[in-house]
Amino acid sequence: MKFAFALAASLLTTLAIQGQEFHLGAPVSDFQLVDLQGASHSFASLKGDTTVVAFIAVRCPVSNAYNQRMEALFKDYSSKGVKFLFVNANVNEPTQEVKEHAQQVGFTFPVYRDRGNVADLFNAQVTPETYVIDKQGVLRYHGAIDDSQNEARIRKHGLRAALDEVLAGKPVTVAETKAFGCSVKRARPHRATE
């Protein structure tokens, strides 16, 4: 019996680790998001446009430090034909709270909920964390919006630089960046014990 439990636990762990399906340089498959009114939307309906997927949070001060920068990104790049999917995948933040937060902050873009495994597919770990998918549906950038929570200290605009290169049809020079942020509060906690 004990063995069966151990086996089940190890299988679950393996599944959790293997949950990531989207990789840099490879095409992403379709995924579903739910808007704050409860309607489902599929990524496939956006195919053909360069798309930014951004995992954000309500209660994460780092994510909140980027609210105005997200708004500016949305404004600057929507006009260039880029689509934005801002996703709240945190199970501890109810949809009502996400709605109120979006109103208070004054987001002019829609925020979506992850009701499935979208955070797992992208292996999103931290908020804010962003991804750029090109017109062919290939994942071209993964990482931070920029390299400093404090706007005065930004040295590298990771996401903007990647978007500019993708829109210009060029290879992305720095395709992966990292920054400190809050962990994504997913239904299945991430464990990385080596």
The token pair at 163 is 């978007």
62, 154, 161, 175: residue in contact with other proteins (rule CB under 8 A): 62
Please say whether the beta carbons of 181 and 63 come within 8 A. yes
Q: C-beta of 19: minimal distance to other proteins in Å?
A: 14
Q: Which is nearer to other proteins, 88 or 177 (CB)?
A: 177
Rounded CA separation 129/31 (Å): 17
3-state secondary structure string across 31-68: CEEEECCCCEEEHHHHCCCCEEEEEECCCCHHHHHCHH
The token pair at 46 is 């956006």
Q: Taking CB under 8 A as the criterion, which residues in 4-33 touch other proteins?
A: none
Q: Which is nearer to other proteins, 50 or 128 (CB)?
A: 128
Q: C-beta of 52: minimal distance to other proteins in Å?
A: 18
Q: Near other proteins by CB under 8 A, which window of 42-50, 69-77, 112-120, 178-186? A: 178-186
| 141 to 160: interface string for other proteins, x by CB under 8 A | ---x--xxxx----x-----
Nearest to 138 by CA among 24, 2, 55: 24
Q: Which is nearer to other proteins, 47 or 190 (CB)?
A: 190
Please say whether the beta carbons of 34 and 111 come within 8 A. no
Give the number of residues written for the chain. Answer: 194
Q: C-beta of 179: minimal distance to other proteins in Å?
A: 5
State yes or no: residue 114 binds other proteins (CB under 8 A).
no
State yes or no: residue 179 binds other proteins (CB under 8 A).
yes
Nearest to 85 by CA among 150, 125, 21, 40: 40
Bridge pairing between strands 51-56 and 83-88: parallel
47, 59, 115, 160: residue in contact with other proteins (rule CB under 8 A): 59
Nearest to 57 by CA among 19, 33, 86: 86
Give the interface size with other proteins as a residue count (CB under 8 A): 28
Contacts with other proteins, residue ranges (CB under 8 A): 59-62, 125-126, 129, 144, 147-150, 155, 177-185, 189-194
